[in-house]
Amino acid sequence: MLEYYTKAIVLDREKRGEYNGLIHLLTADLGRVEARVTGINKITSKLSGHFQIGNLVLARLIEKNEIRLVDGLSMAKLNIMHELLLMVRKLAPLFNKDIDLFNILLGQKVDVRILLSYFGYDASGAICSLSGRKNPECFMLNSLDFVKKELLPSLKLGYDEVVCL
């Protein structure tokens, strides 16, 4: 059994069952992790308020058969759009320590173009994958393609599947 105590940014939360959950974190020491949490959705949960999306937290994680979040404390609320955090969740690999990405998110101004470029998707010379036109305004997270904004309604994508530049 391993125990980690690390700074982390809360990327997303998922409900698992009536009271339990899955917290997606970007940690300074482990990279992106998915941690199971027992009782986080209970009205009496002490962790729920600390692990809100966009919070910088001190998290205590235990690894046995899986990663479990057992304790934590929020340090600050970061000024990052939820869409950017979802993008990091989808593009960053699990358990790949990346202190540069962590520091980018802690920076004053987090920009979609900077994050996409960091992950290897530079928007400066991008072409729409559907129309072939230059200067696309959006990036589809599931297919990893750039697309023009006027084509989005016909694609019927969810809010967590596309990021506009």
Which pLDDT does position 27 carry in this prediction? Answer: 94
pLDDT in tens, 44-54: 888 888 889 99
Neighbours of 2 (CB within 10 A): 8
The whole-chain average pLDDT of the chain stands at: 89
pLDDT in tens, 105-131: 988 788 888 889 899 998 888 999 888
End of a domain among 106, 127, 151? 106
Residue 125 structural domain = 112-164
Considering the domain architecture, whether residues 120 and 102 belong to the same structural domain is answered as no
Which pLDDT does position 152 carry in this prediction? Answer: 84
Considering the domain architecture, whether residues 68 and 83 belong to the same structural domain is answered as yes
Could you tell me which of 154, 156, 150 has the C-alpha nearest to residue 164?
Answer: 150
Could you tell me which of 76, 82, 78, 13 has the C-alpha nearest to residue 41?
Answer: 13
Q: In what order do the strands lie in the sheet with 138-140?
A: 145-147, 138-140, 162-164
**Distance, CA of 159 to chain centre:** 14
Which pLDDT does position 161 carry in this prediction? Answer: 86
Contact 101, 92 (CB under 8 A): yes
Number of structural domains (the chain) is 2
Can you give the CATH number for the domain in which 92 is found? 2.40.50.140
End of a domain among 106, 128, 154? 106
Considering the domain architecture, whether residues 100 and 140 belong to the same structural domain is answered as no
List, for the chain, all residue ranges whose pLDDT scores fall below the cut of 50.
none
